[in-house]
Amino acid sequence: MKTAEDQVVEEDTRFQDEEDTFFQDIDLLQKHGINMADIKKMKLVGICTIKGIQMTTRKALCNIKGLSEAKVEKIKEAAGKMLNVGFQTAFEYSTRRKQVFNITTGSQEFDKLLGGGIESMAITEAFGEFRTGKTQLSHTFCVCFLVLFHVILDSGPSRPDRLKDIADRFNVDHGAVLDNVLYARAYTSEHQMELLDFVAAKFHEEGGVFKLLIIDSIMALFRVDFSGRGELAERQQKLAQMLSRLQKISEEYNVAVFITNQMTADPGAGMSFQADPKKPIGGHILAHASTTRISLRKGRAEMRIAKIFDSPDMPENEATFAISAGGVTDAKE
């Protein structure tokens, strides 16, 4: 008969085994007859783990230069043998969810609203008008969670000096902060998608080191590259592909994904007597892809109000915070 201590050790070992299989290297496919040349082809497009193969369709794999349908079937079959692709109990899934962590916003009230901060294995979206604190949140995240590295994909010019100001608030060395952030400027929506291949490869290369991926802003380049109703369907399809990739990266490497979004006027708001005639852009595609959506609006002076717009487990509520020289902080009454 097992003692309570034996049971705890067994559960701990099982959790460790699950954590190990979560990040199985794609190189292990060689043991199942897949040659290294084909493995390198997949790595070039950011597929670096066995779970990454499971998350990629056969059609997408066939689009990789040099991979035939026969090779793809063999790769899928090999990956299936190495992963449990069937069902699991809710208890097993909840055990895996213990790997989820939270990143603080810099404000205790804001953290309380989010249940401890933004969480990993999820996409958190913050939308609002200009000067509501979206970029300030991004910068504060990078300093508050200094122990590990972060990646920022930006659609506009970066302001690294802003990180130094926030570092002063937390008494952190400027060099340490800047060294812990990888930054890339995206110039088109296609370039933004290509950078995600680099991100996936980097997350795999330095497994467990990166914990936060920020895209500021998710829709800015799509608004430039696609214009008018004639290109709306294509824009939404490309957006859906990018968001799907982000969700897979967050789950595959256990990172938090934080995206900012812009607002647009809603022509139909006047007909429905809505209090706010503006809405976040991206439509239903973005709304369904984001795990948690946060609405930001201006208050008095440096005060800002954050509201849970949509969340799977958090009630619709509000929190007040402030933007200071040291980034996002608690509002002073």
- Mean per-residue pLDDT of the chain: 84
For residue 237, what pLDDT is reported?
Answer: 93
For residue 273, what pLDDT is reported?
Answer: 54
Average pLDDT, integer, range 30-54? 90
Q: Which of 128, 114, 125, 110 is nearest to 276 (CA)?
A: 128
Looking at residue 86, the DSSP 8-state letter turns out to be S
Report the predicted TM-score, pTM, of the whole model to 2 decimal places: 0.83
At 304-329, the pLDDT tens digits run: 999 999 999 888 999 999 999 899 99
For residue 152, what pLDDT is reported?
Answer: 76
Place of tokens 């938090």: 256
For residue 162, what pLDDT is reported?
Answer: 86
At 178-231, the pLDDT tens digits run: 888 888 889 999 999 989 988 988 888 888 888 999 998 899 999 999 988 899
Residues 129 and 304 sit within 8 Å (Cβ to Cβ): no
Beta-carbon contacts of residue 177 (< 8 Å; ≥ 6 apart):
142, 143, 146, 163, 164, 166, 167
Q: Which residue has the higher pLDDT, 103 or 264?
A: 103
For residue 147, what pLDDT is reported?
Answer: 55
Residues 279 and 266 sit within 8 Å (Cβ to Cβ): yes
For residue 239, what pLDDT is reported?
Answer: 94
pLDDT surpassing 60 at residue 59 = yes
Average pLDDT, integer, range 263-273? 63
Strands 318-324 and 303-310 come out as antiparallel
For residue 272, what pLDDT is reported?
Answer: 53
The region of weakest confidence among 35-44, 78-87, 134-143 is 78-87
pLDDT surpassing 60 at residue 75 = yes
Beta strands (DSSP E) in 129-218 are 149-154, 181-185, 210-216
Residues 199 and 250 sit within 8 Å (Cβ to Cβ): no
pLDDT surpassing 80 at residue 159 = no
